Amino acid sequence: MSLNSIFQYFVPKDKKIFFPLFEQAANNVVVMSTILVEVVNSNNPATREELFKQIDKLENKGDEITHQVHLELGKNFITPFDREDIHALSSAIDDVADYIQGAANRMNLYKIDDYNEHIRKLSELTLQCSIDLEKAVRELKDLKNVRAIADSCIRINSVENQADYVFDRAVADLFLYEKDAIRLIKYKEIYAALETATDMCEDAADVMESILVKNA
C-alpha cells in the first residue's frame, strides 16, 4: 500500500462526513424556530399543543445529530478543520436547539396563553438568527465564499444585539407593570430562554469566524 493510500484512508471521504451533519443540525434549528414563531402567533390551544410536540421531537433529532458528529470525531484521524472547532460548532448549534425547546417547554408547562409583543419579537429574532446560521454553515464545506459566511456572522451579531435590547425592555416592563409575582417569574424565564437562543447563535457565528481566520 502506498503512502498516499494510507493517508487517504484517514481522510473523511470528500469531506462528506461532517458538513452534511452541520447542515442537518442548522436546518433542524431553522425548522424549530419556525414552529416556535407559529406557536406564539396561534390562538388555538390544540394547535399549540401539537406544535410543542413537534419541537420536542426536533430537539431529540438535534441531539442525535450532535452525537453523530462526536462519534465521527472519534473515528476520523484527519478532519476538515480543527477538531476543537468541529466540537464547538456542533455544540453551539445544539445549544440553540436546546434553548428553543426550553422556551417552548416553559410556555407549555406554565400554561401561557398571552403571547405578548416581547415574546413574539424574541421568537422572530431567534428565527432570523437561525436562518443566517444555516446560510453560513452551508458555505463552510469549501470555504470559497468567505464573504457570505462573514456577512451571515455579522447579521447574527446584529440580530443578537437587537434581542438583548428587546429582552432588557421586556424585563423592565415586567417590573414596571406586572403585579403578579408568579406571572413575572414565568415570563422572565421565557424571555431569558429566547434571548439565550440568540446568544448561542452568536457563539456558533464566533466559531465560524475563528474557522475563517485559521483557514484564510
Cell numbers that stand for 30 in this block = 431553522
- Best CA proximity match to 197, nearest among 137, 111, 138, 122: 122
Give me the pLDDT at residue 11, please: 46
In the chain the first and final C-alpha atoms are separated, in Å, by: 33
Give me the pLDDT at residue 15, please: 52
100, pLDDT greater than 60: yes
Distance CA 62, CA 50 (A): 19
Residue 162 lies in a domain: yes
Residue ranges making up the domain that contains 133: 15-214
179, pLDDT greater than 60: yes
Q: Helix or strand or coil: residue 82?
A: coil
C-beta separation of 55 from 104 below 8 A: yes
Residue 113 lies in a domain: yes
* Average pLDDT score over residue span 89-108: 97
* Average pLDDT score over residue span 193-215: 94
Where does the pLDDT of residue 141 fall: very low under 50, low under 70, confident under 90, or very high at 90 and above?
Answer: confident
* Average pLDDT score over residue span 137-150: 87
| Cα angle: 65, vertex 82, 66; to 5 degrees | 10
The helix, strand and coil proportions of the chain, stated in percent and rounded to the nearest 5, come to 85, 0, 15
Cell numbers that stand for 89 in this block = 460548532
Residue 1 lies in a domain: no
Give me the pLDDT at residue 32, please: 98
Distance CA 130, CA 74 (A): 28
Domain count for the chain: 1
* Average pLDDT score over residue span 111-123: 95
Using one digit for the tens of pLDDT, what is the confidence trace for 29-60? 999 999 999 999 999 999 999 999 999 999 99
Residue 151 lies in a domain: yes
Give me the pLDDT at residue 9, please: 47
Q: Cell 413574539 identifies what position?
A: 120
Lowest mean pLDDT among 129-138, 159-168, 205-214: 205-214
Residue 31 lies in a domain: yes
**Mean of the per-residue pLDDT values of the chain:** 91
* Average pLDDT score over residue span 180-201: 97
- Best CA proximity match to 102, nearest among 43, 33, 170: 33
Distance CA 110, CA 151 (A): 38
Indicate which CATH number applies to the domain containing 122: 1.20.58.220
Residue 60 lies in a domain: yes
* Average pLDDT score over residue span 105-120: 95
Residue 133 lies in a domain: yes
Where does the pLDDT of residue 216 fall: very low under 50, low under 70, confident under 90, or very high at 90 and above?
Answer: low
- Best CA proximity match to 86, nearest among 70, 65, 64: 70
Residue 3 lies in a domain: no
7, pLDDT greater than 90: no
